[in-house]
Amino acid sequence: MVDPLWFDEHHPEFGRMAEMGRIVRVGFVSNLPGLLFHRRFKGSKHPFCHEKVHEYAATIHEDLVDNMDSCIIK
């Protein structure tokens, strides 16, 4: 499916499935190859204090902190 908006969410029988298809297609696709910048807080040296955000988040949940994105690019 090239464009998730092609799913017909107004279809009387399959509309709910079309909504789920949109969410899955947009939210769980693989990342773009060849990005030239960090998209995760971990390891980012950006002046926006990414390291501080990462350190604070580690105090909340150590297992999930390395999966935090500073930007979402799909």
Residues 18 and 36 in one domain: no
- 59-72 average pLDDT score: 82
Residues 37 and 73 in one domain: yes
- In the predicted model, is pLDDT for residue 48 greater than 80? no
Residues 45 and 61 in one domain: yes
DSSP 52: H
Look up the domain containing 19 and give its range: 1-30
- Per-residue confidence (pLDDT) for residue 62, from 0 to 100: 83
Helix, strand, or coil here: 40?
A: strand
Residues 74 and 61 in one domain: yes
- In the predicted model, is pLDDT for residue 36 greater than 80? no
Question: To the nearest whole number, what is the mean pLDDT of the chain?
Answer: 79
Residues 25 and 42 in one domain: no
> CA-CA distance, 19 to 33, in Å (whole number)?
27
The answer to whether the pTM exceeds 0.75 is: no
Q: What ranges in the chain are assigned the alpha helix state H? A: 15-27, 50-60
